[in-house]
């Protein structure tokens, strides 16, 4: 076999999201774009803000010496300073440029962190349902992904997390607002998690890191607050990106923000910078770093996603589907009335593409990505109604 057995096997179990997206593309070719209702992928729907294009144009005009040259592997100091200033305000604590590492998206950032902290056999605890790429990322560095269930409303179950922690635990990885549930973890829960990790770190006499993957932190509805994990736990790191809030996932820009009180701080930062380089990223995309330096805090009109959430939730609620209303991100995760894979296959016959909960470590549900035209949501009503009549 030309490719490794390992990659071959991983690809066999590859992401349901991609599978359904590719299936959608096939159906669109056969039946026409307007007759296929594709809710498979989380590609942002709204355009990047005007100001993004203005700054991009200005930055592109720069012809100064070495403007496209190599830089410090952690990123431009001016960009890291600008990010740190913005985050200091958001998290109500002093964060400096030295605590920031610019990365190739949140996905790149997660790989950089995991490469830096994992030895083979180390465990990373992840509440399910979860973004399925986590499994591949942890496996990249010989780690073991240990999933734990969440509560019925998809909030964190600290009892389950406590049961899962052992001397092998290196990190707990959470994602809020969550893909695929849209759940935001509240301050009490995050404080409780911080306390638990502090106790367990001292019980096992080791650092257990809390990694918070937050690419949807600007896509929040109804003014629900997102608590700062940096305030709740010392050995914490945030990974985020500009993919979803600026609608630029193709540009691959994200960052890691390390808690200034983390231990051992300088060793970990040096490790992250080394990993950013040696994973072959070398540094995050230069031109985008120069753009975001000037537009910290800017994001698109997220009320557009709220309107889509409401349109979809009202429609499915009236049809009898059961779900927890999302508080953020742009996904809905309803209960599947029958086996989720069978249900997703039946929806496909109605030209509706969604992703089974099994693809997120949570069978019995399915994910609808609602960053689509309203006409796609409205057009899918007939198919959802037909299956509701059959199964609900």
Ligand X SMILES: Cc1ncc(COP(=O)(O)O)c(C=O)c1O
Give the footprint of ligand X on this chain (CB under 6 A): 42, 105-107, 131, 175, 179, 213, 215, 241, 243, 249, 254
Alpha helices (runs of H) in 118-155, residue ranges in sequence order: 133-140
Which neighbouring-strand residues pair with 212? 174, 238
Q: How far is the CB of 175 from ligand X (least distance, A)?
A: 5
Q: Which residue number has the CB closest to ligand X?
A: 105
Give the torsion sign (CA, 383, 47, 43, 29): positive
Residues 83 and 100 sit within 8 Å (Cβ to Cβ):
yes
Task: Provide long-range contacts, Cβ within 8 A and 24+ apart, for 287-291.
Answer: 287/56, 287/59, 287/60, 288/242, 288/248, 288/251, 288/252, 288/253, 289/75, 289/76, 289/79, 289/102, 289/253, 290/59, 290/62, 290/76, 290/79, 291/52, 291/55, 291/56, 291/59
Q: How far is the CB of 3 from ligand X (least distance, A)?
A: 23
d(CA 119, CA 111): 13
How are strands ordered across the β-sheet holding 355-356?
A: 331-332, 366-369, 355-356
Q: How far is the CB of 10 from ligand X (least distance, A)?
A: 18
Give the nearer residue to ligand X in terms of CB position, either 285 or 383. Answer: 285
Which neighbouring-strand residues pair with 238? 212, 257
Give the nearer residue to ligand X in terms of CB position, either 179 or 336. Answer: 179
Q: How far is the CB of 208 from ligand X (least distance, A)?
A: 21
Q: How far is the CB of 249 from ligand X (least distance, A)?
A: 4
Give the nearer residue to ligand X in terms of CB position, either 169 or 369. Answer: 369
Give the nearer residue to ligand X in terms of CB position, either 337 or 359. Answer: 359
Structure tokens at 2: 């030309």
Give the nearer residue to ligand X in terms of CB position, either 134 or 323. Answer: 134
Q: How far is the CB of 142 from ligand X (least distance, A)?
A: 21
Give the nearer residue to ligand X in terms of CB position, either 101 or 387. Answer: 101
């Amino acid at each position: 076999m030309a490719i490794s057995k390992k990659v071959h096997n991983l690809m066999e179990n590859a992401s349901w999201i991609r599978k359904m997206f590719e299936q959608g593309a096939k159906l669109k070719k056969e039946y026409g774009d307007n007759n296929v209702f594709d809710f498979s992928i989380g590609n942002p729907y709204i355009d990047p803000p005007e100001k993004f294009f203005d700054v991009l144009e200005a930055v592109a005009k720069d012809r100064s010496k070495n403007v496209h040259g190599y830089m410090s592997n952690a990123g431009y100091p001016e960009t890291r300073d600008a990010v740190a200033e913005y985050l200091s305000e958001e998290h109500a604590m002093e964060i400096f440029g030295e605590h920031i590492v610019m990365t190739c998206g949140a996905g790149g950032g997660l790989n950089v962190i995991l490469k830096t902290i994992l030895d083979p056999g180390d465990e990373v605890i992840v509440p399910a349902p979860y973004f399925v790429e986590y499994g591949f990322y942890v496996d990249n560095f010989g780690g073991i992904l240990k999933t734990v269930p969440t509560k019925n409303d998809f909030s964190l179950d600290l009892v389950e997390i406590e049961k899962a922690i052992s001397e092998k635990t290196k990190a707990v990885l959470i994602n809020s607002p969550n893909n695929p549930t849209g759940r935001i973890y509240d301050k009490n829960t995050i404080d409780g998690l911080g306390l638990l990790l502090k106790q367990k770190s001292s019980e096992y006499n080791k650092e257990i890191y809390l990694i918070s993957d937050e690419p949807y932190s600007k896509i929040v509805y109804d003014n629900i607050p997102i608590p700062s994990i940096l305030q709740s736990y010392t050995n914490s790191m945030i990974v985020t990106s500009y993919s979803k809030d600026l609608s630029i996932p193709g540009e691959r820009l994200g960052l890691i923000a390390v808690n200034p009180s983390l231990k051992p701080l300088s060793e970990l930062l040096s490790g992250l910078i080394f990993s950013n380089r040696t994973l072959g990223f070398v540094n995050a995309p230069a031109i985008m770093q120069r753009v975001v330096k000037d537009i910290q805090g800017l994001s698109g009109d997220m009320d557009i996603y709220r309107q889509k959430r409401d349109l979809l939730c009202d429609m499915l609620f009236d049809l009898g589907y059961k779900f927890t209303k999302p508080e953020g991100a742009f996904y809905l995760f309803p209960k599947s009335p029958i086996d989720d894979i069978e249900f997703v296959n039946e929806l496909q016959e109605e030209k509706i593409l969604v992703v089974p909960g099994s693809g997120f470590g949570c069978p019995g549900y399915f994910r609808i990505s609602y960053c689509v035209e309203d006409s796609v949501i409205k057009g899918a009503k007939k198919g959802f109604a037909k299956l509701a009549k059959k199964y609900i």
